[in-house]
Amino acid sequence: MKDKLFDDLILLGHDVVEQAGEDAEAESLPALREKRGEAFYSELIHALMNIKLPEEEAKNRWKEIVKHKWYMSEQLKRNVGIRVAALDYFLNLKGLIKTPKIVEVKEFADISWKAVTDSLTGLYNHRHFQTAVNRELKRAVEEGGVFSVIMLDIDFFKIYNDSNGHVAGDVVLVETSNIIKKHSRPGDIPSRYGGEEFGIVLPGTRKTDALEIAERIRTELNSNGFANEEVMPLGKVTLSGGISAGPEDGGTRQDIVNAADERLYRAKRSGRDRICCE
């Protein structure tokens, strides 16, 4: 996941506007913004110039910077980079900064990545998961498509944590996350929902296909083997899960998440170590 995000940011850092013209930039940046979430322009300006602006103002400033870049390029008869244009815009044109700071793209990538990921597991965080559900629901409604959500929870995790300590518990969380990443496809959004609960958003995926992915995750976790897992009521570390699909399971983000959660707890009540999708 990080490599893909870094590639996207490198593309921006090498200036889409410099490669193919302003029209191409106008098409490419919104697509990248959709991947990055609601504060993209604010993060972008902050990364470039160390200035914090509200999102709408940052978006307007970015448009002005792009225009200023093209004006400077025409006047100087050479291609002016977007960072140079941003510096001139804020320092000389608007007088909004006195001590400029330009951040390397890799640093921007690292900052941006940390804003949307869970530090322990490397999965996307709760907020990014919720943003993804909203985005996919809107897309499914507007385009007549479908998407699925998988909610997974480690069974009896507190027993394992209390018996073996938090370090061992963290190992289980990390290994579970690695299995989830392994079986997630490009375009899926695997996330740590909170504690020992995980969520995966699967664009363009029906419940039957989501069930296959969830079962692969559950099965591999069963065979993974963890230290002192004999203390668990089922004799090993296991997962329970629930699956919902949008928009058939509701018209809001909360409807979709609640439907998956309800099926997750149905799996728990039915004996655990299973996935429910109805």
Highest mean pLDDT among 29-38, 76-85, 130-139, 191-200: 191-200
Q: Place 108 in a pLDDT band, splitting at 50, 70 and 90.
A: low
CA neighbor of 137 nearest in space, from 252, 7, 265: 252
Angle at CA of residue 239, ends 237 and 241, nearest 5°: 175
Contact 172, 227 (CB under 8 A): no
pLDDT, one tens digit per residue, over 143-182 is 999 999 999 999 999 999 999 999 999 999 999 999 999 9
User: Residue 175 and residue 126: Cα distance in Å, rounded?
Assistant: 19
Q: What would the mean pLDDT of 263-276 be, rounded to a whole number? A: 97
Q: Give the tens place of pLDDT for each residue, 81-90.
A: 777 888 888 8
Q: List the chain domain ranges.
A: 2-116, 126-276
Record the tokens describing residue 72, joined without a space: 């400077």
**Token match 């893909």: residue?**
4
pLDDT band at 53, cuts 50/70/90? confident
Buried b (16+ CB within 10 A) or exposed e, 237-251: bbbbbbbbbbbebbe
CA–CA distance, 48 with 124 (Å, rounded to integer): 24
Q: Which residues are designated catalytic?
A: 196
**Number of Cβ within a 10 Å radius of residue 96:** 12
- Asked whether residue 17 carries a pLDDT value surpassing 50, the answer given is no
Q: Say which CATH superfamily domain 126-276 falls into.
A: Reverse transcriptase/Diguanylate cyclase domain (3.30.70.270)
